[in-house]
Amino acid sequence: MTLPGTVDDWRAYRPPGLPRVLDAALRRFAEQGYHGTSIRDLAADSGLSVPGVYHHYRSKQDILLALMMAVMDELLERSAAALASAGDDPSEQFDALVESLLRFHMFRRQHAFVASSEIRSLDAGNREAYVERRDEQQRMLDRIVSAGTDAGVFATPYPQDAARAVASLCVGVASWYREDGPLGPDELVRRHLVLARGLIGA
């Protein structure tokens, strides 16, 4: 599932427009976890009957997978749009992708939290499908850092390790950023780009 209206401006964040069952699942899973949430909870929050929920999704596991895939689809879509807006220079591509990751983890904090914390709740086959999608995001960053290193633009002797460290830096923002905090989004991006460039020797 791809969330609507994300590619026209990858920096702009509007309400995500999740289907009502997934919107209810996002809130419940963030507050009380997957295993602490019942189908009856999701039905009540989404204004449906329990059979109504099952009309759209076969199981609570299907709801979790659909939600996590929707989150990852939006992240990948925004990342692709950010890269498309950059030039061919690895430095420009790196800055655009890192900024996109930072903004996502600022403005979709709840989404990022559920997608990260509930990997453990996915069945084996669903976990494999989700992790493959998540790894696609990491590969975008890996390719840019490797290309920049090969071109002599980045000086890190460990491009793969550096790319993972940059990803961790961006993901970590979701655990502490607050809209009413001392750092506005643009200032946070500016500071973290300095940190991220340092990790790759830019």
> Residue 120: which CATH number?
1.10.357.10
Query: What local confidence, expressed as pLDDT, does residue 7 receive?
Result: 55
pLDDT tens-digit series, residues 137-156:
999 999 999 999 999 999 99
Helix, strand, coil percentages (3-state) for the chain, rounded to 5, are 70, 0, 30
74 lies in some domain: yes
Flag whether 147 is in a domain. Answer: yes
Tell me the mean pLDDT in the region 78-105: 96
What is the residue range of 35's domain?
20-200
Give the pTM: 0.90
> What pLDDT, on a 0 to 100 scale, did the predictor assign at position 8?
67
Q: Mean pLDDT over all residues of the chain?
A: 93
The answer to whether position 9 is within a domain reads no
How far does CA 83 lie from the centroid of its chain? Answer: 16
**Within a domain: 115:** yes
6 domain-assigned: no
Residue 14, Cα to own-chain centre: how many angstroms?
15
In a domain, 117, yes or no: yes
Distance CA 24, CA 177 (A): 23
CB-CB contact of 187 with 177 (8 Å): no
Has residue 1 been placed in a domain?
A: no
Residue 163, in any domain of the structure: yes
How many structural domains compose the chain? 1
Percent with pLDDT over 90 in the chain: 90
pLDDT at 16: 86
pLDDT of residue 4: 42
| Tens digits of residue pLDDT in 53-91 | 999 999 999 999 999 999 999 999 999 999 999 989 999
